[in-house]
Structure 1
Amino acid sequence: MQGQPYGGQGHFNGFQPPPRRDSSFRLVLLGFSLLVVIGIAAAIMAVVLWTGGSTSTASGPVEPKVSGPSIVPTPTTNPEKGTAEDFLLNADVYRTGPLTEQNCKSADLGNGGLAAQKVYYQRLFKCLNDAWRPVFHELGQDKPDPGLVVFDKPVQTACGNFEPLSGRVLAFYCYGNQVMYVDVKQMDKAFGPKEDLAYLMTIAHEYGHHVQGVTGLFYARAAYLQDHPDQKLESSRRNELQASCFGGVFSRAVAKSYPLTDRLDEFKEQSSNSFGESPDTPEDERTHGLATSQGFWIQNGFNIGANKACDTFAVSADLVK
């Protein structure tokens, strides 16, 4: 396909818990993005739900492993070199190796309050930075680590002003200043202190958006949508599922120390059922992908354990529903 040469743009991304739909769905998260492209802002909303179902697929090929897929996407199209589509399909990040194994023991969330959550996020954030920094260096992107703000009072950011429990915002990453913000009260309300794997996957997913920004993937998508506005919803799902896949790759890097090795059934259950839109979500609101799609890509990133698992722009539409 013909397209504009990819140049680069700017972005903001966050998570929110969705409204309850019915008794069979437990709310967990809802995400949104605010995209600023050549002075044009567009809001992108997405529901992430607890569905109460289960997924059973073939076991991954390596240890530690969870039940789930194990595919390495390969582009089948041949877009014009230098276009945004070419970048999305063939970005250099897909050719980087596994993340370095991290010594990253989970901090105790205690009562879920500010002090405990701050310790948890700070420890996890250090591991995320340590794991991804060599990848960025390999790609020639030696930029400062992103910042982290954990708040339980009103906060001013480069992406707007936010209050605890305002709307349904849980956490968000702001490309305007490369800082991730986490609403302590909203996280505790959505998860409580017991579901620490939900905290892990939420923050690893948001950091996945940081990876997309540093490597140029998010900005390539913004440029692509200028030529293909009809692909907004499907492209949003590919973008969000890719962030989840990057989160799965990171989860593999901390599997032994967190530890996840004796909690893989729980990891599989949450990854397959905790995140994603309900099947009854209207087609024109499906921006993150169904729970089965979220589980597929989180587990694929975990099982393959390398970024080559996460080329969500190269797969058929049925894998990004």
Structure 2
Amino acid sequence: MRWRGRRQSSNVEDQRGRGGGGFGRGGGGVRIPVGRIGGRGGGLSGIIILVVLFFALRACGIDPLEMLSQDTGGAPPAGQQRTQASDEAAQFAGVVLAETEDVWKGIFQAEGATYAEPKMVLFSGQVRSACGFASAASGPFYCPGDKKLYLDLNFFDELARRFGASGDFAQAYVIAHEVGHHVQNLIGVLPKFNAMRQRMSQTEANQMSIRVELQADCFAGVWAHFTAQKGLLETGDIDEALNAANQIGDDTLQRRTQGYVVPESFNHGTSAQRREWFSRGLESGRLDACDTFKGPV
């Protein structure tokens, strides 16, 4: 993808190295262990020790609560150090987000609506969102509660190394997919799904989730359609995106991790479905081509 020198979005919140926020602010920072220590009744003794420590620090003129409420500061923990490569990945993500803003703003305007741009939070290790606490292991996600995308840039390395989906447009596809969820939130798809899910069985919810995820894939394809029209795609970019869609299909993931597939547990769609719906959006560039809620998927 020809991304260098292009505008970066101003909607990026870089929280890398912060460890998810401080104590007392809903973050995933310092946690005080109050469980059993050593044997029966150890939990109580542990609490007593902490209380004594609290007042000892206060006597020395140190406010423990202030210490805990602050970010860790200084150098980030091991594995979270910023590097030139990670900063370049952050710049790339900012450009991709900006490109999605331009495309979706134009699509919404054509429909007589206004596109509310999402925020993208870059984090490392763990993060707190309006949807709760999450670790990097959960992968990129979108939270409708705060209208933000969350991305640990290390996922891009995992995407290439573990899933065999390398290339910058594979990464762009991941971001565009999460932006697709934001579009769904704006047009009412996600709120409707979340309301319906409470009345569904797990199997029914999984089937509906597949349709939601495939529509986000299709929306990513719509974005790729207009990005191609702008002349930003390079040879092999579409193949990178299709390969990424293939590698993270439910059937492919289950076969890789456990050696067999359980179709009733699918909640994102098969590899073939994900490739197909991305391609539909790519070829048409139209939202009405992305109606995954009619007929079979």
- TM-score range (shorter-chain normalised) is 0.5 to 0.7
Cα RMSD of the aligned pairs, angstroms, is 2.7
Match of 1:233, SS? helix
1:248 aligns with 2:221: yes
Match of 1:215 in 2: 187
Counterparts of 1:182 and 1:225, CA distance in 2? 25
Residue 156 of structure 1: how far off its partner (Å): 2.9
Match of 1:260, SS? coil
Match of 1:312, SS? coil
Residue pair 2:242, 2:278 contacting (<8 A) in 1 also: no
Match of 1:173 among 126, 142, 159: 142
Runs of 4+ in structure 1 over 6 Å off? none
1:135 aligns with 2:107: yes
Counterparts of 1:264 and 1:121, CA distance in 2? 16
Counterparts of 1:260 and 1:188, CA distance in 2? 21
Residue pair 2:248, 2:271 contacting (<8 A) in 1 also: yes
Residue 299 of structure 1: how far off its partner (Å): 0.7
- In structure 2, runs of 5+ residues without a counterpart are 1-82, 253-259
2:172 aligned partner, one-letter code: L
Q: Deviations over 1:88-131 (max 9, x none)?
A: xxxxxxxxxxxxxxxxxxxxxxx883211110011110111111
Q: If each structure's strand is expressed as a fraction of its own residues, which one has the higher value?
A: 1
1:283 aligns with 2:252: no
Match of 2:129 among 134, 157, 169: 157
Q: Deviations over 1:157-182 (max 9, x none)?
A: 2222344x4xx222111112111111
Match of 2:275 in 1: 295
Residue pair 1:275, 1:295 contacting (<8 A) in 2 also: no
With over 3 angstroms needed to count, the CA separation of the structure-2 counterparts of 1:236 and 1:260, relative to structure 1, is same
Q: If each structure's helix is expressed as a fraction of its own residues, which one has the higher value?
A: 2
Residue pair 1:113, 1:184 contacting (<8 A) in 2 also: no
Residue pair 1:170, 1:187 contacting (<8 A) in 2 also: no
TM-score by length of 1: 0.57
With over 3 angstroms needed to count, the CA separation of the structure-2 counterparts of 1:262 and 1:187, relative to structure 1, is closer
- If you compute each CA radius of gyration, which structure gives the higher value, 1 or 2? 2
Residue 269 of structure 1: how far off its partner (Å): 4.8
Match of 2:213, SS? helix
Q: Deviations over 1:192-246 (max 9, x none)?
A: 6952121011111111100100000112223344555462121111111010010
Q: Write the mapping of 1:175-254 to structure 2, written as runs, cut at 5 A.
A: 175-191=144-160, 194-226=166-198, 228-229=200-201, 231-254=204-227
With over 3 angstroms needed to count, the CA separation of the structure-2 counterparts of 1:113 and 1:281, relative to structure 1, is farther
Residue 139 of structure 1: how far off its partner (Å): 5.0
Greater relative contact order structure (CA < 8 Å, 6+ sep): 1
2:129 aligned partner, one-letter code: T
- In structure 1, runs of 5+ residues without a counterpart are 1-110
Counterparts of 2:265 and 2:220, CA distance in 1? 23
With over 3 angstroms needed to count, the CA separation of the structure-2 counterparts of 1:112 and 1:273, relative to structure 1, is farther
Match of 2:293, SS? helix
With over 3 angstroms needed to count, the CA separation of the structure-2 counterparts of 1:225 and 1:285, relative to structure 1, is same
Paired residues in the alignment total: 204
Match of 1:114, SS? helix
Identity %: 27
Counterparts of 2:231 and 2:155, CA distance in 1? 24
Residue pair 1:169, 1:183 contacting (<8 A) in 2 also: no
Match of 1:45 in 2: none
Match of 1:305 in 2: 285
Match of 1:234, SS? helix
> Which stretch has the larger CA shift, 131-140 or 298-307?
131-140
Residue 146 of structure 1: how far off its partner (Å): 0.8
Residue pair 2:122, 2:152 contacting (<8 A) in 1 also: yes
Counterparts of 1:160 and 1:119, CA distance in 2? 26
